[in-house]
Amino acid sequence: MTHVINLLYRQLPAIDRLLQEPHIISLVASYGQTQVVDILRKMQEQARMHIREHQALPEWSDDWAASLQRRLDEAQTSALTPVFNLSGTVLHTNLGRALLAESAIEAVTQAMRSPVTLEYSLDGASRGHRDRALADLLCTLTGAEDACIVNNNAAAVLLMLATVAQGKEVVVSRGELVEIGGAFRIPDVMAQAGCRLVEVGTTNRTHLKDYQQAMTLDTGMLMKVHTSNYRIEGFTAEVSGEELAKLGKASQIPTAIDLGSGSMIDMTQYGLPAEPMPQDCLKYGIDLVTFSGDKLLGGPQAGIIVGKKPWIEAIQQHPLKRALRADKMTLAALEATLRLYQNPEQLRQALPTLRLLTRAQDEIRDMAQQLIPQIRAYYRDKFIIRDEPCYSQIGSGSLPVDRLPSWALTFAAIDRRGSTLEKLAHHWRNLKKPVIGRLYDGRLWLDLRCLEDGNALLRALLLNCGDKK
């Protein structure tokens, strides 16, 4: 046995000899000698391990250059792979939420390629504040006195609480103690901010008197949290933002609302369900409002705080602000996105999130019917393929129970085996540009709401249909 293993070891080519092969020389020119040699050493070690375990050379050892090429290509594959989002969720957290508008993409590119006035004032060549330009724009759009931008909404809530109510009590309705993605809970955020949570009311009903009875000399904030990722229905009651603002003003206690989803427009004008807007909260007299940049706003990941100037100035000076601040690329994308709101007549087409949310079902159905003949021709040997109505969801905790009428391509396995569908879904997830659908009710669904280029999907599916069997 040892003799066989030693003979096989001797058949492994030395790295110096491999580096003289023409194909590998070209790979060194493309990828660099350090990376090529590192992978070749790993290949040799894998080959030795295979010999020890199987007393045979690995199959790939017949062509070291080809195997090296595959491994180099895999090593260069980006961790952030573009995909076709046909899951039926428009703002899909795991797929990056909102798609950016072209103007935002151009703004980010410019900020990456050139020095920019991030913290530089052209009026005297002094140091400026990185939030200033966006704060002025947000004030114009929302009516706020001032604004602050950080890297996401959880950070915005944390920073706001740490500034306004650290060491004090924060009064919140029991029905609003939300948990967002990743088991991240409002009570946990408060604890990290050094606040003491005071729960009032019940899960389904909270009244103004509950807030009034909970207030003490230690009360640092009265807070509402918009339940954007669930809804309680039936025998319910909640304190409105306007009522909370009046109570805070009368009691001289700061008030805050965490909106989360961040709609800046009246969604009902587009036939979508109503969602609270920061400008309305500010009109009521709420001191501080927080919301996300990458949900219904349609911009990059960011946390936005708008409200009364004295509180925003205090937030800007808090030590946590530097740790949570947004970078130049986020600020560039956010500014470009917000500027789209200055032209509401063109917003529906210019903002991808709004465009996808408002697509008519008939338009999506027409696309499905155009695609199905060619797709059916390639996959009909193993699948029953139909175009069918379905419902999309907005996603990312926005408008959680509301559905958007859509249209889908569905695949049912002729052999009725779930494993056949799972194999197809797995194959599509491993395409050069993966196709992400959803398995439901014994079928694989491709919801076309987020597909704007049908030909691109055809190229992906029909040029890579080798695993359709």
Residue ranges covered by each domain of the chain: 1-76, 84-93+357-463, 102-344
Question: What are the residues whose beta carbons fall under 8 Å from the beta carbon of 89, sequence distance 6 or more?
Answer: 95, 392, 393, 394, 395
pLDDT at res. 204: 83
What distance in Å separates the CA atoms of residue 158 and residue 206, rounded to the nearest whole number? 24
Question: Could you check whether 84-93+357-463 and 102-344 share the same CATH topology?
Answer: no
- Architecture in CATH for domain 102-344: 3-Layer(aba) Sandwich (3.40)
pLDDT at res. 115: 93
Mean pLDDT for 253-257 is 97
Checking if the pLDDT of 217 tops 70, the result is yes
pLDDT at res. 468: 46
Confidence of residue 13 (pLDDT cuts 50, 70, 90): very high
Checking if the pLDDT of 467 tops 60, the result is no
pLDDT digits (tens, 9 = 90+) for 139-179: 999 999 999 999 999 999 999 999 999 999 999 998 888 77
pLDDT at res. 186: 81
Checking if the pLDDT of 229 tops 70, the result is no
What distance in Å separates the CA atoms of residue 96 and residue 172, rounded to the nearest whole number? 30
Checking if the pLDDT of 378 tops 80, the result is yes
Confidence of residue 465 (pLDDT cuts 50, 70, 90): low
Average pLDDT, the chain: 91
Mean pLDDT for 194-203 is 90
pLDDT at res. 176: 82
pLDDT at res. 464: 56
Higher pLDDT: 181 or 192? It is 192
What distance in Å separates the CA atoms of residue 136 and residue 315, rounded to the nearest whole number? 16
* Closest alpha carbon to 326 in 308, 290, 301, 307: 301
Checking if the pLDDT of 182 tops 60, the result is no
pLDDT at res. 231: 66
pLDDT at res. 78: 83
Checking if the pLDDT of 469 tops 50, the result is no
pLDDT at res. 243: 94
SS3 content of the chain, % helix, strand, coil (to 5): 50, 20, 30
pLDDT at res. 4: 81
Mean pLDDT for 245-268 is 93
Mean pLDDT for 462-469 is 56
Point out the least confidently predicted range of 200-204, 338-342, 452-456: 200-204
Confidence of residue 230 (pLDDT cuts 50, 70, 90): low
pLDDT digits (tens, 9 = 90+) for 27-85: 999 999 999 999 999 999 999 999 999 999 999 999 999 999 999 998 888 888 999 99
DSSP 3-state of 296: coil
What distance in Å separates the CA atoms of residue 180 and residue 354, rounded to the nearest whole number? 23
- Write the CATH number of the domain with boundaries 84-93+357-463: 3.90.1150.110
Checking if the pLDDT of 430 tops 50, the result is yes
Taking the CA atoms of the chain, what radius of gyration do you get in angstroms? 28
pLDDT digits (tens, 9 = 90+) for 189-198: 888 999 999 9
Checking if the pLDDT of 123 tops 90, the result is no
Residues 450 and 90: beta-carbon distance below 8 Å: yes
Confidence of residue 2 (pLDDT cuts 50, 70, 90): confident
DSSP 396-464: TTEEEEEEEEEEEEEEEETT--HHHHHHHHHHHHTSSS-EE-EEETTEEEEEGGG---HHHHHHHHHTT
pLDDT at res. 203: 76
Residues 50 and 56: beta-carbon distance below 8 Å: yes
Higher pLDDT: 332 or 238? It is 332
Checking if the pLDDT of 233 tops 80, the result is no
Checking if the pLDDT of 399 tops 70, the result is no
